[in-house]
A and B are shown apart, each in its own frame.
Chain A
Amino acid sequence: MSIFSNPFDANESLRCVCGRHASQAEHDALSARAEQITGEHLSSHVVEQAVVRALFPQDSVRRKFLQAVGSPVAMSAISSIFPMAMAKEAFAQAGRLEKPKLNVGFIPITCATPIIMADPMGFYKKQGLDVNIVKTAGWAVIRDKTLNKEYDAAHMLSPMPLAISIGAGASPVPYTMPAMENINGQALTLAMKHKDRRDPKLWKGFRFAVPFDYSMHNYLLRYYVAEAGLDPDKDIQIRSVPPPEMVANMRADNIDGFLAPDPVNQRAVFDGVGFIHMLSKELWEGHPCCAFAASKEFVTTMPNTYAALLRAIMEATAYAQKPENRKEIAAAIAPPNYLNQPVTVVEQVLTGTFADGLGNVRKVPDRIGFDPFPWHSFAVWILSQMKRWGQIKGDIDYQKIASEVYLATDAMRLMAQAGLTPPKTTSKTFSVMGKVFDPSKPEEYINSFKIKRV
């Protein structure tokens, strides 16, 4: 469910007694935590009141905030995550920008639409920021440049901040993901010669490309072929190839297919190299993909800049979600300075009226969606797949990592400021290929699969 659609959607069932949490268990956990906090600090009630008053001098704003996030979440956020002095700065709406000139890295794919379009369409400028957005060659480079602090923030794949934080594939650095970029918007593309082999059971020996080991693409592709009975580590080959190089590789017959971000899929169709086998939304409707990420250091040492940057991204995201703006955005981000693609390719991706490579014009208006909310349950699913495929070993505290890296509370507040309707909870259930995922039971979920590396 997109946060821009009806919040009273029927999919959002399974509520607790207060209606604010996805399940009764979560309600209990959160209120217990809130009680514990007040219990620990006997005199803290007075302090908290003072702090909350300082943060929200206008009572109406305070009430809106508490309504938006729910008071247990707000309390735990204020008293545990932020030291008081810093929280004061972070929550100030128009604080002085610590660093108005920023470098933000991106990979030239449509997932980065909000980050990119905010430059030509003036969303950064509106927040008083002078943002230099730098095109980067691949995910490993974007990770290293962000860790080097050449980039203040960057476009990443949503599993990457989790992987960086727990130190999988990189040295552990506390990382945060304040916002998702997009949902859906990926596709599984096959080379033209496989046009009569659409059944994944026939794909033994295929060579596939995904953008990165720690990517939704990798996990979705593995999930999909494993459901068809193929072992992704033995029956097929999965390579990590930077998106821009995928079409060239498919053309050269180095790979049979890829699960990739757009415009790569549409570009393969445009050049007559491949066809779109399925859109990723057909595997998991509303799955997350790319993210906007920053180091914890940036978030804590420059709270005003961080808030301004995030507001710009949120507003761009809201603008991008509206179908009527999509053509304008396609024209703004297609030139050489940004995606460097023919406008029609980008337009087909964003509007969802596209050629599938087999001679049909498909109309799927929600082919890609933009939704900034970093659901904790997304993080838990990603961690469960990392564990399923042996990228992380041993026991991990799913909920703790999820809440430390995916900054849902910040997102709620800033979404409300940007005029969006944030969801009331930080976790939700969803289903992947028809199988329901319960974020409170990740281990059971992993064990329910036949093909796994645990």
Chain B
Amino acid sequence: MTALERLRPLALSLIILGLIFGIWALATMGGSKGQVVDDEYAKLVGAAAASGQKSAFPTPGDFLEKLGGHLADPFYDRGTNDKGIGIQLAYSIARVLSGFFLAAAVAIPLGFMIGMSRTAFAALDPFIQVLKPISPLAWMPLALFTLKDSGVSAIFVIFICSIWPMLINTAFGVASVRREWMDVARTLEVRPVRKALRVILPAAAPTIMTGMRISIGIAWLVIVAAEMLVGGTGIGYFVWNEWNNLSISNILTAILLIGVVGMVLDFVFSRLQRLVTYRD
């Protein structure tokens, strides 16, 4: 690949970005119509309401200004309910990782068990199928009521939503280890524990990793919803708090950062996935 060929997609990406901002700027330009109320009244309402309109969507300029402000000072702490966006993201990531690793600690051994035994798989399958599609918001009231702690509840919701892809993928990966390899292991009289660790685990690792990659994506989706509900800290709370204030620029900033963090998490797991992949 020449340098030019490598630059081509980058240039195209930049053009698309430019187009998005251009269309956005055009769509939000619409200039103010001029004041339609007296000055005393105008002082009491927003600029849009004073010209007889609803407040408008922010322009790209407004958004970039807010984004710059947040990035320039991401770790400020002005009291319980007003912390920098960096601190909020750190809270969210900590919650996601603890819920996710708890789920992995349960899902992978359980998936192994289910994958090894057809009976266990058949018995547990209905439960998995029913529990899998439940939304995090539906779990939340139940968690708050039974666990009696909002922080633990948020982690529980991550746990319960991210466990299924790992469980199913582990079971599937374990169940579909090639017969020949199992037969070789049996011929060599390999002990069960050794067989699990040296034969099945490496063979199923790529499938398990795929499950983990799907799960971390789900966990990151869930955290925003969960934090909007329980509040207090985290990026979901930040979005909710700015929704209070109808500050679309701040919400857009949060959306962008949620996307970036999600991308980084996915990237890490895609690297791990590549590490365990093998060629037949």
Binding site for B on A (CB under 8 A): 108, 132-138, 140-141, 144-145, 147-150, 192, 244-245, 247-248, 251, 267, 269-273, 335-342, 344, 348, 353-355, 357, 359-361
Chain B residues with Cβ below 8 Å from A341 are: 244-245
Q: 28 A-B Cβ contacts within 8 A?
A: A134-B232, A135-B80, A136-B231, A136-B232, A137-B240, A141-B229, A141-B231, A144-B141, A144-B145, A150-B150, A245-B243, A247-B246, A248-B246, A269-B49, A270-B55, A335-B78, A335-B82, A336-B78, A337-B78, A338-B81, A339-B244, A340-B241, A340-B244, A341-B245, A344-B43, A355-B41, A359-B37, A359-B38
Chain B residues near A141: list those with CB within 8 A.
Answer: 144, 150, 229-231
Would you give the shortest CB distance from B109 to chain A, in whole angstroms?
31
Chain B, 39-68, contact with A by CB distance < 8 Å: what is the 0/1 string? Answer: 011011110110011110000000000000
CA distance A49 to B218 in the complex (A): 67
Chain B 106-149 against A: per-residue CB contact (8 Å), 1 yes, 0 no?
00000000000000000000000000000000000100110011
Q: Decide if B30 is an interface residue (CB 8 Å cutoff).
A: no
Residues on the A chain within 8 Å of B97, using CB: none
Q: Is B240 within 8 A of A244, CB to CB?
A: yes
- Is residue B224 within 8 Å, beta carbon to beta carbon, of the partner chain? no
B144:A272 contact, CB within 8 angstroms: no
Shortest distance from the beta carbon of B220 to any chain A beta carbon, whole Å: 20
State how many residues of chain B have any CB contact under 8 Å with chain A.
Answer: 38
Q: Is the pair B150, A272 in contact by a Cβ cutoff of 8 Å? A: no
- State whether the Cβ of B79 lies closer than 8 Å to any Cβ in chain A: yes
B48, A336: Cβ atoms closer than 8 Å: no
Which of A134, A149, A271, A361 touches B246 (beta carbons < 8 Å)? A271
Q: At the interface, yes or no: B228 with Cβ under 8 Å from chain A?
A: yes
Complex Cα spacing A322 to B232, Å: 32
**Residue of B45, B52, B79 with highest tally of chain A CB at under 10 A:** B45
Instruction: Give Cα A144 to B45, complex, Å.
Output: 36
Q: Are B229 and A272 in contact (CB under 8 A)?
A: no
Closest beta carbon of chain B to A175's beta carbon, Å: 16
Nearest CB in chain A: distance from B217 CB, A: 25
| List of B residues within 8 angstroms of A353 by Cβ | 44
* A135 B241 Cβ-Cβ under 8 A: yes
> Is there an interface contact between A133 and B80, defined as CB atoms closer than 8 Å?
yes
The contact of A355 among B44, B53, B54, B150, by CB within 8 Å, is B44
Contacts of A348 in B (CB 8 A): 44
Closest chain-A Cβ to B253's Cβ sits at a distance in Å of 14
**Whole-angstrom distance between the Cβ of A339 and the nearest chain B Cβ:** 8
Would you list the 6 A-B pairs with minimal beta carbon distance, nearest first?
A272-B49, A337-B82, A244-B244, A355-B44, A337-B79, A137-B231
Q: A248: shortest Cβ distance to chain B, in Å?
A: 6
Q: Which residues of A contact B245 (CB under 8 A)?
A: 336, 340-341
Q: Which residue of B lies closest to A251 (CB)?
A: B54
Complex Cα distance, B231 from A63, in Å, reads 48
The smallest beta-carbon distance between A271 and chain B, in angstroms, is 4
> Bound state CA distance, A245 and B240, in angstroms?
9
Q: A141-B230, A244-B244 are in contact. Are A272 and B46 (CB under 8 A)?
A: yes
Pick the residue among B44, B228, B231, B246 that contacts A135 (CB under 8 A).
B231
Closest residue of A by beta carbon distance from B52: A272
A344–B41 Cα distance when bound, in Å, is 12
- Residues on the A chain within 8 Å of B81, using CB: 133-135, 336-338
Whole-angstrom distance from the CB of A272 to the nearest CB of chain B? 3
A119: nearest residue on chain B (CB-CB)? B79
**Chain B positions within 8 Å of A271 at CB level:** 46, 48-49, 54-55, 246
Cα distance A353–B144 in the bound complex, in angstroms: 41
A270 to B232, CA, bound (A): 27
Distance to closest chain A CB from B75 (angstroms): 15
CB distance from B255 to the nearest CB of A (A): 15
- Chain B 222-244 against A: per-residue CB contact (8 Å), 1 yes, 0 no? 00000011111000010011111
The contact of B45 among A149, A244, A270, A336, by CB within 8 Å, is A270
Which B residue sits closest to A116, measured CB to CB? B81
Q: Which residues of A contact B228 (CB under 8 A)?
A: 137
What's the Cα separation between A136 and B237 when bound, in Å? 9
Contacts of B78 in A (CB 8 A): 335-337
Q: Which residue of A lies closest to B151 (CB)?
A: A150
**B55 close to A359 (CB less than 8 A):** no
Known contacts A137-B240, A341-B245, A148 near B49 by CB under 8 Å: no
